[in-house]
Copies of this chain bind each other. A is one copy, B any other.
């Protein structure tokens, strides 16, 4: 009997005719979901901030280590779960990560509806940018020579992904939010940090790299003269 039954629940998403057989509503409240994400993120950031004090690096670099740890774990754990869980909206128990995406889909129903552009962007983010972000934490701590170019590459990937995410939504009618509240808080608000912070990091890395290259040319010329 179990598993063979097919029941239809109404869902809270827009468009209303989105077909989501066996949909199970959220168990956790919005504030619980946000609180868990907030506390978990705060723990990660505190841990990395405290550990980073052992390295002889600037405060900016310590903050960057915190960002890359936070964004890397978000990409791998939260977004990674979404990519590989096509049936998260059928979850019958209060599985935290399923709850996150059931809730976020109120701001963008393409998540529950498994829009291919959303899955492609989230897939690249979770599988490539997530592990690369954790590598950036390590690269900054050890002051690796590839630290800036790596941070630049990931930031550019995040910006490209966000661009595809918004442009496809616009082209498909921009009507995937359950209400203006969810549109502005989830669809716009929750992604806002991933526009501002990668832009700032990309500009910083561009400047650092552009400043480094002519110095190398100069050094090479000097050694030739000798």
Could you list which residues of chain A lie within 8 angstroms of chain B, going by C-beta atoms?
Answer: 116-117, 119-121, 123-124, 143, 145-149, 152-153, 156-157, 160-161, 163-164, 167-168, 171-172, 205-206, 208-217, 219
CB of A56 to closest CB in B, whole Å = 13
- Find chain B residues with CB under 8 A from A145 CB: 210-211, 213-214
Chain B residues with CB under 8 A of A206: 146, 149
Complex Cα distance, B221 from A219, in Å, reads 14
Given contacts A149-B206, A149-B209, A216-B216, 6 further A-B contacts (CB under 8 A): A145-B214, A146-B210, A156-B156, A156-B160, A209-B212, A209-B213
Report the Cα distance A149→B212, complex, angstroms.
Answer: 11
- Chain copies in the assembled complex: 2
Q: Is the CB of B124 within 8 A of A163?
A: yes
Assess whether A116 is in contact with B212, with CB atoms less than 8 Å apart.
no
A19 → B minimal CB distance (Å)? 16
A122, chain B: closest CB distance, angstroms? 10
Given known A-B contacts A149-B206, A153-B156, A156-B157, A168 and B215 have beta carbons under 8 A apart: no
Q: List chain B residues, Cβ under 8 A from A117.
A: 116-117, 120, 164, 168
16 A–B contacts from the bound complex (CB under 8 Å): A116-B171, A117-B164, A117-B168, A120-B171, A121-B164, A145-B210, A147-B213, A148-B209, A149-B206, A149-B209, A149-B213, A152-B153, A157-B160, A209-B213, A212-B216, A219-B219
